[in-house]
Amino acid sequence: MSSTTLLRLSGLALLLAGVLLALAIPFHPSDTDPQALLRSAWVPVHTVFAIAVLLSLFGLLGLYLRLRERSGWLGLLGFALLFTGSAFILAVLFFEAFVAPAIASSAAGQALLDPAGPLFGGTLKVVLVLVSSIFSLGCLLFCIAILRSGTAARFAHELRNEAVEELIPDRMDESRAELKIELMRDGRNKGKKGEKGKR
């Protein structure tokens, strides 16, 4: 598989991840709802979140490969932290989607999942804070590296075009061919008008 194809697939993965997150967020149960884990929307929404994060992992690989030469050591550090944090968040989302609702179905399980309970009130809470910090720091450093590289706007344009081409390559080729024919016709018509004006 060529590097161009990998870049296109990574762009498509990031695009789909963003769309999935945008679609799922409005349906997320309220965090203030004590029964949120038992709501019918909880499992599908967190499943979509997990799929979006999984896609973003593939997308981040292509994004870094595209920018690695200009992003330097800061880009590498930011990418490593962001990728690691996203991988941990993916595990947390799978837990929230498929394990936590089963635990919350009983009174004893709800006590276990309480923020001050034995599960989240101990070492796991520290781990989750650490994961969140790694992800946030990775986002910050990677974004700074992208901005410093001076390729952010150009890459965003290329990424969008390549993702669209991956989705509808045949249609894009047809549109380009049609546009080329139209430009050739316009050029010929202008040439004919210019000749008539000279006469």
Give per-residue pLDDT as tens, 43-67: 999 999 999 999 999 999 888 888 8
Same domain for 52 and 79, yes or no, is: yes
Q: Averaged over 58-77, what is the pLDDT?
A: 87
**Average pLDDT for residues 102-128, to the nearest whole number?**
80
Q: Are residues 186 and 139 in the same domain?
A: no
Average pLDDT score, the chain: 79
d(CA 189, CA 139): 53
> What is the CA 79 to chain-centroid distance, rounded?
14
Share of the chain above pLDDT 70, in %: 74
Residue 92 has pLDDT above 80, yes or no: yes
pLDDT confidence of residue 55: 95
Query: Domains in the chain: how many in total?
Result: 2
Measured in degrees and rounded to the nearest 5, phi and psi for residue 47 equal -65, -45
- Identify the domain containing residue 188 by its residue range: 173-199
Handedness of CA 131, 135, 137, 142 (dihedral sign): positive
pLDDT recorded at residue 18: 92
Q: Calculate the CA dihedral of residues 175, 178, 184, 189 and round it to 10 degrees.
A: -120
Higher pLDDT, 168 or 70: 70
Could you give the angle at which helices 152-167 and 42-94 cross, rounded to 10 degrees? 120
pLDDT at 93 over 80: yes
43 and 134, same structural domain?
yes
pTM for the whole structure: 0.69
pLDDT at 198 over 50: no
Predicted local distance difference test score (pLDDT) of residue 199:
53
Do the Cβ atoms of 145 and 71 come closer than 8 Å?
A: yes
Q: Is the pLDDT of residue 197 over 60?
A: no
More confident residue, 189 or 10: 10
Q: Judge if 131 and 182 occupy the same domain.
A: no
Segment 61-75 shows an average pLDDT of 86
Cα separation, 7 vs 163, in Å, equals 9
Whether residues 181 and 151 share a domain: the answer is no
Number of Cβ atoms within 10 Å of the Cβ of 94: 17
HSE-up of residue 104 (Cα within 13 Å, Cβ side): 18
Mean per-residue pLDDT, 156-184: 56
Q: Are residues 124 and 163 in the same domain?
A: yes
Dump strand ranges (E) for 44-194: none
Q: Do residue 161 and residue 70 come from a single domain?
A: yes
52/93 same-domain check: yes
Is 193 in the same domain as 151? Answer: no
Residues 158 and 63 in one domain: yes
Helices (H) and strands (E) in the chain, counts: 7, 0
Contact indicator for 80, 4 with CB cutoff of 8 Å: no
Are 56 and 81 in the same domain? yes
* Distance (Å, whole) CA 182 – CA 156: 28
Residue 179 pLDDT more than 70? no
User: In the prediction, which pLDDT does 46 show?
Assistant: 94
State the amino acid at position 26 in one-letter form.
P
Q: Which pLDDT tens digit goes with each residue over 20-47?
A: 999 999 998 887 777 888 888 889 999 9
Do 86 and 142 lie in a common domain? Answer: yes
